[in-house]
Structure 1
Amino acid sequence: MKKLFSYLIIAFVITTACKKEKTANTITADTSLSTDSITEIAKEAWIYGYPMFYNYKTIYANAVNKDAKEFVGGFNKFKSIAVSATPADTLVVTINNDTPYSMAAINVSDEPVILEVPKIEQDRYYVMQLVDLYTFNFEYVGSRATGNQPGKYLIAGPDWKGKAPNGITKVLKSETSLIFVVGRTQLHNPKDAVNLKRIQAQYKLIPLHEYENQAAPAEKKYNLALPVWNEADYSSPKFINVLNSLLQYTTEDSSEKTLRARFAKIGVQPGVNYDSSKYPPETIKAIEKGIAEGKKELESKIDNLKDSGSLFGTRASLKNNYLNRAIAAAAGLYGNTKEEAVYTGSSTDKDNQPLMGSNKYILRFSKDELPEAKYFWSITMYNLPKRFLVSNPISRYSIGNKTDGVKYEPNGDLVFYLQGDSPGKSKESNWLPTPKSGRFMFVMRIYGPQPDVINNVWKMPSAEKVK
């Protein structure tokens, strides 16, 4: 985990020189805080902001950075992939391999956007997960939430008070103006890619003025421009301006009034420039200590993560647990709410030893241990500490109950072989390749989980080391 977080260290710059004051939208210093207070607030702010930083990394690549391979031409445009993910896809950690993505960064600062989806055949699962800048899953469109019928959904920001036009299925309100949509559409098998492309081409994002054949509205102006993504900035005082820029696209929830006021004491204020040259060395050291403490706590929680089911959801369901929100972003950004999909997995075996590519394992589900899923379930392999897919000679990155050719035992059990080399031709149908060396982990995704799965009554079996 140390390598995973070595590039995630983010420095907050704070105040301690003289009485705090604003001039020309620039924050100056504040000596009323002790270094211990600065450290504690910095730790809180680092954990609070962590999910936003890495959500914005994806938004930036998708809609802002013209040189990124993920760039689609700006906001409010889908980028769809009609094949399963491969080890070359490294923008998002623990990427999903079952349901190819249709992703879009949406900006509703000026006006709402209409999400249009087509009718989809009943045996194909799909979902549109709407994630606000905080990374709350604030709404869903798809097989579970709205069915497979066609629909037009108006996505609006926190300041919109208009009336939905005729033909709108539902209004979806976000508390932030920057939104990321994670669309997933089931791919039955490689030959199904043609059908998948046809469906993905019908996912549309239409600005409200275009939908109504009206003139475009005036563009909202912000004090700070959207930041350029630069990993090095997050280890320096430059970071505070990035956070202050992103906070311009949020609203202050009533439950966070006290928290935001506390953050403001160290210079975290939406749209206000932050000049790090105003602060003495002891302030910077206090901030760095707070970041280190936040990083240590987050790292320890991820190392011991067993169940991620409660880490993803709405603000109300997460109850403003900012540490859990940060854990979710670090362990698997854009995870679904548990009613949509449940995630479980492991990086250790039955004896609580790390899973190693130099070993061979079996993962056995008795016929009574198979999870109940309305749609399907799968297990995906990842290397550690990077959490990327694992290259292998058969190009298989996940396996599950819908995988072509999977064989059950005569008694109904299902056995998967987790190892770097082939278990033999007769068993390759049930082989999920691991790295040939180093640590690894696997994640099980259950789509349309039933009550026993949602409520943690069902438990996934542990991998067993074999000779």
Structure 2
Amino acid sequence: MNRRELIAALAAAAAPGGALAQDSTLRASAQAAWLYGLPLIEMATTRARALTGRGGMAGAINRFVHSRALAGPQSRAVTAPNNDTLYSSAWLDLTRGPVTLTIPPTGDRYISVAGMNFYTDNDFVLGTRTSGGGGGRFTIVGPGQAGSGPRVVRLSTPQGWLLARTLVDGPSDLAAVHAVQDGLGLTGSVAPPPPTFAARAAPAMDYFMSVAALLAANPPPATDGALFARIAALGLSADGRFDAARHDPAARAEIEAGVSAARAALQSVRPGPSSGGWSYPKSNLGDYGQDYVFRAGVALAGLAALPAAEAMYMNPVGDRGRMFSGDGPYVLKFPGNAQPPVDAFWSLTMYEATPEGQFFLVENPLGRYSIGDRTPGLARGADGSLEIWIARSDPGGARSANWLPAPASGPFTLSFRAYLPRPELLDGRYRLPAIVAG
């Protein structure tokens, strides 16, 4: 791809509202279609890993499997895992009818159970914020299905992902959280395992054949009709038709060029507006509408992100975009009267960055992957202020107690999570202090 084509690709990604290129050529159609299909592909890939046991959570369709230990460096099934909650995961198939979800009483303990359609939108989030801490039984229905009872929730695609997060207050709390997990239940038909689909690195023809099959299994909303009109040159239809044989070698070369442009455009996606050294989530995080480029970027770097009312994810501005490359130390200081305003909890998590733009926890001397409002042993100032020291090596002295270790080498980034953010954080009246050189 030449410089002019790259600039055009980046401009398409940066267009207002995440609009895709309007050019109807085969190359532009392939670019738009690859980005549109990426969330479907990432969902299918993550589902396959879970059902076959890669990532340590083998299971069956319409059945929960539980992670019994907090995420660590071995946790590679989902990008950017948190280190605050235990996950419980169930892959849904509602083609044989609704399923019944049971959530146990959790009292004041934070829990969320997010129901994501196959396009990665959160169709519903149950738990502390919405249905309360008393638990209950809920009927999950699919498109066109009827449900009875006062607690019916709907998934907008026949297949989807149910992901529960239960707060853990340290290692001594694990047994109590395991009891909560054991109270989570799903009853309904056990569907057969799904077929295998191509991954995002697959050749274009294989990729689009898989996207077509996923479209057929999970029809897109009618509001995506304009997208399919724009990609008509590619021949990928909303009802899941794609004829690879119609494209001769010259056409396939154009398609591959469009895919390359899509990959380049994806690297330019930003999570949201920046202010004071942090980027803040866009208002449509977790419910993307027609913001296809943003949706694709989140599917790659933060699959299963919750909507802002449930959790806000803030990323720092480093010396290389979102990335830091220096050794540190860096410091994040919260004044005593300016602690993050949340009704659940907050944490700052360290990640190493992969060349593909995914983020994972990394081994360090302390076995500490995050610092938050529940981290034991942190040193605070006399006025209640808190300094978090970020460095590749121990910053020494009084700083050691508040050290968040960075990877020994390579780029790294951080994610600040605020669960159940209060209005002043949601509307921007409160801003995080910048991370600065120490």
Please give the range of the TM-score, normalised by the shorter of the 2 chains. 0.7 to 0.9
- 1:428 Cα deviation after fit: 3.0
- 1:297 Cα deviation after fit: 1.7
After TM superposition, the score normalised by the length of structure 2 is 0.86
Matches within 5 A, 1:21-420: 37-63=25-51, 66=52, 68-70=54-56, 72-122=58-108, 124-160=109-145, 162-164=146-148, 168-207=149-188, 226-231=194-199, 234-269=202-237, 274-302=242-270, 306-314=279-287, 318-348=288-318, 355-385=324-354, 386-420=358-392
- 1:310 Cα deviation after fit: 2.7
Contact kept in structure 2, 1:227 and 1:242, CA below 8 Å: no
Contact kept in structure 2, 1:153 and 1:172, CA below 8 Å: yes
Partner Cα distance (2:321, 2:198) in 1? 38
Q: Which residue of 2 aligns with 1:11?
A: none
Distance 1:169 1:381, change over 3 A: farther
Q: Which letter does structure 2 place at the counterpart of 1:192?
A: D
Distance 1:464 1:328, change over 3 A: same
Deviates more, 1:183-192 or 1:225-234: 225-234
1:238 is paired with a residue whose SS is helix
Q: Which residue of 1 aligns with 2:276?
A: none
Query: Which runs of 5 or more residues in structure 1 are unaligned?
Result: 1-34, 210-215
Percentage identity across paired residues of the two chains = 27
- 1:81 Cα deviation after fit: 1.4
CA deviations over 1:49-89 (Å, ceiling 9, x no partner): 111111111112223xx363545332011111122100111
- 1:263 Cα deviation after fit: 3.9
Distance 1:233 1:395, change over 3 A: closer
CA deviations over 1:68-123 (Å, ceiling 9, x no partner): 3545332011111122100111111111111111111111111111110111122x
- 1:307 Cα deviation after fit: 2.5
After TM superposition, the score normalised by the length of structure 1 is 0.81
Contact kept in structure 1, 2:318 and 2:324, CA below 8 Å: yes
Contact kept in structure 1, 2:271 and 2:280, CA below 8 Å: no
Q: Which letter does structure 1 place at the counterpart of 2:310?
A: E
1:402 is paired with a residue whose SS is coil
- 1:230 Cα deviation after fit: 4.5
Query: Which runs of 5 or more residues in structure 2 are unaligned?
Result: 1-22, 274-278
Partner Cα distance (1:444, 1:199) in 2? 26
Q: CA RMSD in A?
A: 2.5
Partner Cα distance (1:353, 1:108) in 2? 39
1:55 is paired with a residue whose SS is helix
Distance 1:264 1:173, change over 3 A: farther
Partner Cα distance (1:271, 1:74) in 2? 27
Q: Which letter does structure 1 place at the counterpart of 2:374?
A: K
Partner Cα distance (1:334, 1:325) in 2? 11
Distance 1:312 1:190, change over 3 A: same
Q: Greater CA radius of gyration, 1 or 2?
A: 1
